């Protein structure tokens, strides 16, 4: 699998992306109630990308960085500095902000607005751009009209969207988001981790078929991978 572009889901909002020859973890909270992987088993990480500062998104970042001494964290400026302070190495943090992409070894990573809260810095979504594909991880967010701009500017091939409700979009809002973003593939996240997250992938898929029938919905169980073929 290491030679092809793929997306691996670890549950909640945690994903592993392999793009541009780089292994990227996004919001790596792996020790959640649906845990399928020990963070100490995650090796050869190049970048850890964080969308915001809530514990269920910072997750196991510190352990992963300690276990992958060449990995760097990429996040909104204040959050990146916070992680750098925790690991005692400012050289391993890449602080960014909303706007044009950050250039990273052949990859581009753009932080975009999210409609949420964050105890450290601003909440964001993130767009990872490579030669193989462009992947948009929306982070925790309610629906926002800025998603239409994300679709128009970055034209993501894959959108990773929260559907659980209560703290984020539910399937209804997420289906409208798909209609605005117009990805080729939509993958639901941030559901079933806790009882309060009521949204289901079945309802999301049904609504996407109604609102954006050209978009393929790929539902991944925690631990499953999907090869990117765009």
| Mean per-residue pLDDT pooled into runs of 10, the chain (230 residues) | 84 98 98 96 98 98 98 98 97 95 95 97 98 97 98 98 98 98 98 98 98 98 94
Query: Exposed, middle or buried by CB within 10 Å (0-12, 13-18, 19+), for 41?
Result: exposed
Q: Are 227 and 5 in contact (CB under 8 A)?
A: yes
The full set of domain ranges for the chain reads 6-220
Q: What is the pLDDT of residues 135-189, one digit of tens each?
A: 999 999 999 999 999 999 999 999 999 999 999 999 999 999 999 999 999 999 9
- Which helix (H) or strand (E) segment holds residue 74: the answer is strand 72-76
Q: Are 84 and 93 in contact (CB under 8 A)?
A: yes
At 176, give phi and psi (nearest 5°): -65, -35
- Topology, domain 6-220: Metallo-beta-lactamase; Chain A (3.60.15)
Contacts 24+ apart (CB under 8 A), 192-195: 192/34, 192/164, 193/11, 193/12, 193/32, 193/33, 193/34, 193/56, 193/164, 194/33
């Amino acid at each position: 699998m290491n030679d092809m572009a793929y997306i691996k889901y670890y549950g909640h909002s945690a994903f592993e992306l392999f793009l541009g020859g780089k292994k990227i973890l996004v919001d790596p909270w792996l020790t959640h109630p649906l845990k399928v992987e020990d963070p100490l088993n995650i090796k050869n990480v190049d970048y850890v990308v964080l969308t915001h500062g809530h514990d269920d998104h910072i997750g196991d970042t510190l352990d992963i960085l300690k276990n992958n001494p060449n990995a760097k964290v990429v996040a909104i400026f204040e959050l990146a500095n916070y992680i750098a302070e925790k690991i005692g190495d400012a050289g391993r943090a890449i602080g960014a902000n909303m706007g044009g992409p950050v250039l990273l070894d052949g990859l581009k990573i753009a932080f975009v607005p999210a409609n949420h809260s964050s105890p450290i810095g601003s909440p964001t979504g993130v767009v990872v751009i490579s030669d193989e594909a462009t992947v948009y991880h929306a982070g925790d967010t309610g629906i926002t009209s800025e998603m239409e701009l994300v679709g128009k500017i970055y034209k993501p091939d894959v959108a990773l969207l929260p559907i659980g409700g209560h703290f984020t979009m539910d399937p209804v809002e997420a289906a409208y988001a798909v209609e605005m973003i117009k990805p080729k593939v939509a993958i639901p996240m941030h559901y079933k981790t806790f009882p309060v997250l009521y949204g289901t992938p079945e309802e999301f898929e049904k609504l996407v078929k109604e609102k954006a029938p050209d978009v393929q919905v790929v539902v991944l169980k925690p631990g499953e991978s999907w090869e990117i073929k765009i």
